[in-house]
Structure 1
Amino acid sequence: MSKKLTKPGVAFDANAWDDYQYVKQYNNKLSARIDELIKEAMRSPLEGKGKPERLVGDFAGFYSRRIDREHRLVYTYIDGYLVIAQCRFHY
């Protein structure tokens, strides 16, 4: 079962956007990795790079990919859009 985006869009939670801007400013390597994982997540929630996994419990309905040992990209799909909930630190 693979979700496909019906609209080619990405949205960020306000805190996730702040984190994304911070990373863009201070860590080019991490920023490039986040961009790469966002592209992968747009293709398929559970396939591709970053060891994607479906989250459970309080995070049911969300997915996670490893950016690096410390950071995770947490996302979901709402109305066909990829929505980034977190892109810095571990959930």
Structure 2
Amino acid sequence: MSRELLWHSLSEIIILSLPFFNFNKVSSVFRTKKPALNGNCGLCNDVPVYRLSADCGHVFCYYCIHAHGMPRCPVCAQDLDINNLQHPTARTKIL
């Protein structure tokens, strides 16, 4: 009898606490993405087309980051303002 009561009270506590749990932070801890190497786009991992740089230093293609449309950097999960992305100087890597 006491096991059932303990189990039911524990399950109620879990159910009631779920709305206060931030799943985005937990998923970002367990998410393993490769960082962009050699100035490649952080989303498609290719040479950026119309290169944009975020405040955190990661580089993205114009089309990739606007299609992504999330308020956080997809690589490091820092806050990201899409309207405030910087256009780096015209240093392009020719392959």
Q: TM-score interval w.r.t. the shorter chain?
A: under 0.3
Task: State which structure, 1 or 2, has the greater radius of gyration over its C-alpha atoms.
Answer: 2
Larger RCO: 1 or 2 (CA < 8 Å, sep 6+) = 1
More strand by share: 1
TM-score normalised according to structure 2 size: 0.25
